[in-house]
Structure 1
Amino acid sequence: MVFNMVLIIVLIICVVTDIRKRLIYNKVIFPALILSLILHLILNGWSGLAASLLGFLIGIGILLIPYFMGGIGAGDVKLLALIGALKGPLFVLNTSIYMALLGGVIAICILIFNGGAFSRLKYYFHWLYAKKSGLTVPLAMTKDSLKSTYPYGVAIAGGAILSIVGKAWIS
């Protein structure tokens, strides 16, 4: 129960700062991480601390490659690692599944409602028709379309909330 309360407080703070400033602050993540490790050691002993550290490592591992590729920020990686440290390995794995699904839905909504989405879709249909007809037309992607991002901390937090209230994918 105490871990859920800490998690929800941290998620609220991180979502607000991620939406407003596109940052997830270390001064929120690191104290919560230390508190998590101490509480796991006190309440669950060495096995609780080990599970917390394993969840932390799994949380880092899930988003490490997207971070190195430049697709996600370091704050997002640390937030998922904190979720793993607070709730353990299975919880962070379930959170990552919900996070990916929710992140995809958010990305699709941004593509649909962002200006120019329908003209790009029309262009892709013309490209497919040209491809079918044997013509080679380059699939043009503007640099702006490759740089559009959104605060992924929202998807991470939504995934964690869905893991708390929803059905576990991995048990």
Structure 2
Amino acid sequence: MLLLNFLLIAVLTVCVITDLKNRKIYNKVIFPALIIALLLNAIFYGWSGISSSLLGFVVGLGILLIPYLLGGMGAGDVKLLALIGAIHGITFVLTTAVYMALIGAVIGLWMLLFRKGLFRRIKALFYTILGLRHGINPNIDFHNRIAFPYGVAIAGGAFLAFFLKGVVFL
């Protein structure tokens, strides 16, 4: 169990650094860690460990798959959450996802409020709502969206789930 915790913390640390620095979560970090997670779960817990690890992987992958397919998430973010599920299982990855969403919302709101051009965005939102009210189909520019390294929110969610022992405060 200690080795799995060390693996989780090491992977999260490396992924946060690379995501902040390069906006990438590298496969050369994710895939070896996935193999190690499967092996450690097999060694420590046998077949139930492998099945728990695989189920956690699938659930973690599924949580961010739709946002990825819609273009709102990078593939590295999806694989990182899937890896978290493979390391500690389904309950842990679900708890991580709750905290991840909360942290991501706070980061997104912060960036929205303090990024240059706030008044232009408020004005565009006002005209969009006004246009919708009068039956005008707005031409929304989806390419001018705010992007941030979501791996930070994922890692923050995993750290909270780890240190709070899976307790979700809602």
Task: Specify the alignment match of 2:153 in structure 1.
Answer: 155
Q: RMSD of the alignment, in Å? A: 2.2
CA distance in 2, matches of 1:38, 1:124: 50
1:74-95 per-position Cα deviation (integer Å, ceiling 9, x unaligned): 1111100000000100000000
After TM superposition, where is structure 1 displaced by more than 4 Å over at least 4 residues in a row? 125-132, 135-140
Instruction: Give TM-score, length-normalised by structure 2.
Output: 0.88
Deviations 1:35-62 (A, max 9, x none): 1110011111111111011000101111
Aligned to 1:64: 65
| Displacement after TM superposition at 1:118 (Å) | 2.8
Which residue matches 2:167?
168
TM-score scaled by length of structure 1? 0.87
2:144 aligned partner: 145
Q: Which runs of 5+ in 1 are unaligned?
A: none
Shift of 1:165: 1.4
Deviates more, 1:57-66 or 1:120-129: 120-129
Stretch of structure 1 that moved more, 137-146 or 66-75: 137-146
Kindly report which structure 2 residues correspond to 1:118-133, keeping only aligned pairs within 5 A, or say none.
118-125=119-126
- Answer yes or no: is the 8 Å Cα contact 1:15–1:153 preserved in 2: yes
Largest Rg, 1 or 2: 1
Q: Deviations over 1:84-125 (max 9, x none)?
A: 000100000000111111111111111111101133224545
Partner of 1:102: 103
TM alignment of 1:3-14, pairs within 5 A: 3-14=4-15
CA distance in 1, matches of 2:132, 2:47: 60
Question: Is it true that 1:46 corresponds to 2:44 in the alignment?
Answer: no
Residue type of the alignment partner of 2:167: A
Contact 1:112 1:118 in 2 (8 A): no
Shift of 1:20: 1.0
Identity level (%):
51
